Amino acid sequence: MSTGMKRATEKNLMVFSGRAHAELAQAVAADLGTELVPTELRDFANTEMYVRFEESVRGCDAFVIQSHTEPINKWIMEHLLMVDALKRASAKRITVVTPFYGYARQDKKSRGREPISARLMADLFKTAGADRLMAVDLHTDQIQGFFDGPVDHLQALPILTDYVARKYGREQLTIVSPDAGRIKVAEAWSKRLDDAPLAFIHKTRDVTRSNQSVANRVIGRVEGRTCILVDDMIDSGGTICNAAEALMADGAASVVIAATHAIFSNPAAARLRDSVAREVIITDTLPITADKGFEKLTPLSIAPLLAQAIREVFEDGSVTSMFQA
């Protein structure tokens, strides 16, 4: 005679969104064939935030989407509160979905007495109750090891390279890294674009000053070629615009900028609009407000990628297989 009770239950996927980039979350939910869970999100007079889900979440497989855009500290805190609320409401598994992972650039100590903020972020989400983390194009791969649990590191590479191949595939391409540290990313681009040759910009950066670098010289053959200048993020735009100018000065036929995360802190939009770049291709991991848009900016949707990854996790499939050539 056995003891206890057995009950067959169906898995229940629920998608939640904060206020930072609700349009992206709605697109992800639509791709999944569901809707966002109604959620009460508001600010108190002293700027503290209140979170409450308007449906039962007990036993669900929860995916909480929030992109860490400006004001970044506010939206990170809202994300943490949502995770805490789900944990206390007995969600079975909580996956934090961060299309853009805040503080990712602070992943090591460049000088003494600095924090490793990217690690602190991972610890905060774990403490809040997250079981799993999903992000797109982390600044460095090592951040995956900061979170004590499964991490799905998604790549925007297929989306960006497919677009570039369709539009510029018939031209003589050179893939350019804006610095020596991102050569691996450029190599991955090259593999997907018929082994296009590589180049990189040798630059110097003052670690005591944020968002400032000097493009020194181009290493590689770019003369007469269409240069695809690739990076994971564009913040103030100074580095990428300087790199584009260096390429044109070295004889490039044209420069196309491609990046996953369009942070676009002022004056990035104006710099890119007035730059020598032929086109600026980004994804919508971060919201592109009207004041950040310009004519040669092309945003590509990241929603199908996120939806596919969420479906794979929910159905116990393979996220890795999504990126195998």
Residue partners of 43: CB distance under 8 A and separation at least 6: 49, 50
Enclosing H/E stretch for 240 = helix 238-249
Closest CA to 181 of 110, 263, 270, 112: 110
Other Cβ atoms closer than 10 A to 106 = 17
| Cα-Cα-Cα-Cα dihedral sign, residues 106, 269, 67, 191 | negative
Which residue among the candidates 74, 108, 191, 203 is catalytic per the annotation?
203
Number of residues that make up the chain = 325
184 is catalytic: no
| Residue matched to tokens 């590689």 | 220
The whole-angstrom distance between residue 312's C-alpha and the CA centroid of its chain comes to 19
Residue 174 CA to residue 155 CA, distance in Å, equals 21
| Cα-Cα-Cα-Cα dihedral sign, residues 154, 104, 179, 166 | positive
Residue 117 CA to residue 107 CA, distance in Å, equals 6
| Sheet with 198-205, side-by-side order of all strands | 213-219, 198-205, 173-177, 226-234, 254-262, 279-283, 297-300
Residue pair 226/253 in contact by the 8 Å Cβ criterion:
yes
Q: Encoding tokens for residue 49? A: 């935030």
Q: Encoding tokens for residue 187? A: 């190599």
What residues are annotated to the active site?
Answer: 203
